[in-house]
Amino acid sequence: MTRTLLVLLVLSALTFLLTSLAPGDPAEEILRRGGVQPTAESVAVLRGELGLDRPLFSQYLHWLLGVLRGDFGRSHVDRAPVAAEILSRVPATLWLAGVASLIAVGPAVLVSVRAALRPRALDSRIARAVAVTVAAVPPYVVGILLISLVAVGARALPTGGDGSPEAVILPAVTLGLAGTATLLRLLRADLAAVARLPFVKLAVAKGLTARRTVMVHALRAAAPGAITAAGIVLTELLAGAVVVETLFAWPGVGQLAVSAIRQRDIPTVQAYVLLVALGTVLVLALAELCASLADPRTRR
């Protein structure tokens, strides 16, 4: 717990420092965006209103205390509370990440078990080749191919987040395929390693069927590694949502972050980076806890 809090504190400092030191003056950007030619006086007044004239450490403490109260400040674009803007986008991102997780986990577990049962079978080799190929293709390339072939070519599904239930399919497949490839490679390697352990060979020697050996003994022994891999995949989905949401015009937090970066809306960017880092730390901590519960030998 102490280590997690320390990591979050360091992440908050890095997030604030890196976004604050980005080139350009936010006050000048806000004035120009509002149709006002910035002058030294108007820029100084606005910097005072935004608190940008204070020392950087003082700004960080003020921002951190606000974050602890759930206040991420106000957007430099429309002066709306950042927390409210992000919360309004969270359901769309969670819906996309949930469907993508199912697409990532389901095929990975089925193909890994199949590969463990028949490692030399043709379908197992094809699945391994497909996993390596998909892992080598960036998600945005997969997304462009799906839009070209499925949405534009076949007109089978919408290209973006138009509010219809089927609009989630293409972005979720794009996001989930990368997770499927990662999880498949890790789970397949874990099952192959477990299959060489003495207790698995003993179960086979006692006459247990290959299917029961894999489903009952090997999967249970590989569970800690699979849980850790699932945690890693989930963090990849969180990070990859920025690209996929932008590509498919999905109204989630990732699209909001890209828009904030383009407009130099620093409070929104700071909140997004910090929340993604917080989500990553919590997911990995939860995965580590679940892995230790599944296998007490992993506890330190």
Following DSSP, what letter does each residue of 242-279 receive, concatenated?
Answer: HHHHHHTT--SHHHHHHHHHHTT-HHHHHHHHHHHHHH
Of all residues in the chain, the percent with pLDDT exceeding 90 is: 3
What mean pLDDT do residues 70-80 have? 85
Contact of 112 with 188, CB cutoff 8 Å? yes
Q: What is residue 88's predicted lDDT score, i.e. its pLDDT?
A: 92
Q: What is residue 84's predicted lDDT score, i.e. its pLDDT?
A: 92
CA 155 to chain centre: 29
Q: What is the mean pLDDT of the chain?
A: 82
pLDDT-based confidence at residue 299 (cuts at 50, 70, 90): low
What mean pLDDT do residues 233-256 have? 85
Structure tokens at 184: 């498949």
pTM metric for this prediction: 0.79
Q: Is pLDDT of 255 > 80?
A: yes
What mean pLDDT do residues 251-268 have? 87
Q: What is residue 295's predicted lDDT score, i.e. its pLDDT?
A: 67
CA distance 24 to 20: 10
What mean pLDDT do residues 167-195 have? 82
Q: Is pLDDT of 261 > 60?
A: yes
Of all residues in the chain, the percent with pLDDT exceeding 70 is: 96
Q: What is residue 192's predicted lDDT score, i.e. its pLDDT?
A: 77
Write the CA distances from 80 to 13, 35, 42, 291, integer angstroms: 24, 19, 21, 41
Q: What is the pLDDT of residues 2-34, one digit of tens each?
A: 777 787 788 888 888 887 777 777 788 788 877
Q: What is residue 81's predicted lDDT score, i.e. its pLDDT?
A: 92
Q: Phi-psi region for residue 29, left (φ > 0), alpha (ψ -120 to 50) or beta? A: alpha
Q: What is the pLDDT of residues 28-70, one digit of tens each?
A: 878 887 778 888 888 888 888 888 888 888 988 988 898 888 8
Q: Is pLDDT of 300 > 60?
A: no
Q: What is residue 82's predicted lDDT score, i.e. its pLDDT?
A: 92
Q: What is residue 297's predicted lDDT score, i.e. its pLDDT?
A: 62
Comparing 43 with 1, the larger pLDDT belongs to: 43
CA distance 123 to 115: 8
CA distance 296 to 300: 9
Q: What is residue 85's predicted lDDT score, i.e. its pLDDT?
A: 92
